[in-house]
Structure 1
Amino acid sequence: MGIDIRQATPNDAPEACALLRRSIEEGCAADHGARTDILQAWLSNKTLQNVTTWFSSPSNFAVVAVDGQQLAGMALLTQAGKLALCYVMPGQLQQGIGRAMVQAVEARARSWDIAKLHMHCPASSSGFFERLGYVNAGKDKACFGLECDFLWKQLNAVEVPASKRYCSCSGK
């Protein structure tokens, strides 16, 4: 059975909220290290009421990844160009779900004429986003007391393949 990526609706909020909480508790364990203060702060706004509001807001675009009848992932873009959330169910990582959701969010950002996306990202996820063309601008203590990476991506830029290097130092 394949994964379907579709726009989230407020009806998805209960399952999306549970997915967010589980993904943070289990999938981001290397980042929060079971430190109660950080984990509680990180989870504090992941409530049914907030997720419903995020999915209902016309200034947000949320997608869910659906595997059969189950949510496998969710992502949220704001009109300010922030990739605010991007989480995949811990048991379903490395199956292309995150990539598909990011592609959907980036397509919406382009349709909104957003030229650059940005996010705060736990260190364990930075490599994933870097492989998708996001630039790691360094550490920032913005994620609920957790040291995170600040990443950004220019959406209207032409990407140079990683194997190509342009340097004038060799004279060639």
Structure 2
Amino acid sequence: MLTIRPATSADAQVAYDIRREAVRHHCIGAYPAEQMLAWTAGTAEDGYASLMASHFYMGCIEGEPVATGMLDVNAREIGAIFVLPGYMQQGLGKQMLAFLEALARNLGLAQVNLDATLNAAAFYRQCGYVGEATALYHSPRGIDLACVPMTKVLV
């Protein structure tokens, strides 16, 4: 059973590690190895830690963080949905996504957006997101990654 709680500043490195492991495991083949290494290099102190102050959440099983997710209310954007490789294919990403969508609804958002990684676009389509065109995501660390911008109307 996944329990979801707000992240704290103490969660920054754990959240970054979950992200790094998920990307390195799940994005193989969708992005060149060189790009993946640049994308996952560094530490939480390289800018990721500042995300913990917003609507950033940790998904935990028996108290151990295994998933992350965030909602940028101003941008109406869901992001940072990552699950540790050993916990993938158990519905945890869907649970985190449903939690963030419910939070968005409760905050009065009628629609949310996200930039899906190439390997995750099909997952988001199964969850009701719409978007086909590929675009470039410009990461805060200066890395350009192909993505699929997607939207979902929250009803």
TM bucket normalised to smaller: 0.7 to 0.9
Tell me the equivalent position of 1:84.
Answer: 79
Matches within 5 A, 1:72-151: 72-79=66-73, 80-142=75-137, 144-151=143-150
- Between the aligned partners of 1:116 and 1:44, the Cα distance in structure 2 is 32
State the one-letter code of the partner of 2:9.
Answer: P
Structure 1 position 71 matched with structure 2 position 65? yes
Per the alignment, in what secondary structure is the counterpart of residue 127 of structure 1?
helix
Larger Rg: 1 or 2? 1
User: Which aligned segments of 4 or more residues in structure 1 are displaced greater than 4 angstroms?
Assistant: none
Is the Cα contact below 8 Å between 1:88 and 1:97 reproduced in 2?
Answer: yes
- Between the aligned partners of 2:18 and 2:77, the Cα distance in structure 1 is 20
- Between the aligned partners of 2:102 and 2:55, the Cα distance in structure 1 is 11
Unaligned runs of at least 5 residues, structure 2: none
In the comparison of the two structures, how many residue pairs are matched?
150
Is the Cα contact below 8 Å between 2:12 and 2:44 reproduced in 1?
Answer: no
Is the Cα contact below 8 Å between 1:137 and 1:152 reproduced in 2?
Answer: no
Q: CA deviation at 1:39?
A: 2.2
Is the Cα contact below 8 Å between 1:20 and 1:46 reproduced in 2?
Answer: no
Q: CA deviation at 1:42?
A: 2.3
Q: CA deviation at 1:99?
A: 0.8
Per the alignment, in what secondary structure is the counterpart of residue 85 of structure 1?
strand
Unaligned runs of at least 5 residues, structure 1: 157-172
Tell me the equivalent position of 2:52.
Answer: 55
- When normalised by structure 2's length, the TM-score is 0.86
Coordinate RMSD, CA, aligned:
1.9
State the one-letter code of the partner of 2:24.
Answer: E
Per the alignment, in what secondary structure is the counterpart of residue 146 of structure 2?
strand
Is the Cα contact below 8 Å between 1:115 and 1:155 reproduced in 2?
Answer: yes
- When normalised by structure 1's length, the TM-score is 0.78
State the one-letter code of the partner of 1:142.
Answer: Y
